[in-house]
Amino acid sequence: MNHDISIRHNLQVGDLGRIVALHGTVYDALPGYGLKFEAYVARTVAEYYLDAGGIGRIWMAERDDQLVGCAAMVLRDGGLGQLRWVLVDASARGIGLGKDLVNRALDYARNNGCSSVSLETTDGLPESQQLYERLGFEVTSNEREELWDGERPLIRMALPL
């Protein structure tokens, strides 16, 4: 899978903001997303870097210096990994980029001694949930919780490694 896309994990100044911006623009067309969701993502990215010390890795997929995809594996206590910020722009879908990014993250978790990986998603993202299920993730809970735009399903999934 090339398609003129390069993937790197050495973060540079501006990359965290690019992840937030990509989430804002890609999800804006979906109901219940928009600026409040973009702010929510900004908070989670900031917490990862400021509060958790950026323990883990973020992959940036770029085409012509434009961010077209990303994924992260956050290393948690107790040998747990958390898959976060998995996103592929519409211009780069259908070529296996999402699967490639998630597999890189899962390999990283395995290589860093994680015994399992969790993730959180919500309704309205069937392609993402299907990808996770094809890779072996199973739903561990599906409860309505207060999120960025009010109450909506928070789907938790896990994969033993």
At 130, list the tokens.
């299907």
pLDDT at 24 (0 to 100):
96
Q: Cβ(86)–Cβ(128) under 8 Å? A: yes
Tens digit of pLDDT for each residue in 26-45?
999 888 888 999 999 999 99
Select from 109, 92, 135 the least CA-distant residue to 57. Answer: 109
Domains of the chain: 6-160 (3.40.630.30)
Decide if pLDDT at 1 tops 60: no
Better-scored residue on pLDDT, 33 or 16:
16
In which residue are the tokens 């299907």 written? 130
- Cα–Cα distance between 42 and 122 in angstroms, integer? 17
Task: Look at residue 159 and give its three-state secondary structure.
Answer: strand
Tens digit of pLDDT for each residue in 85-134?
999 999 999 999 999 999 999 999 999 999 999 999 998 888 899 999 99
pLDDT at 31 (0 to 100):
86
Choose the weakest-confidence range: 70-79, 100-109, 117-126, 141-150.
141-150
pLDDT at 150 (0 to 100):
81
pLDDT at 51 (0 to 100):
84
- Cα–Cα distance between 32 and 4 in angstroms, integer? 33
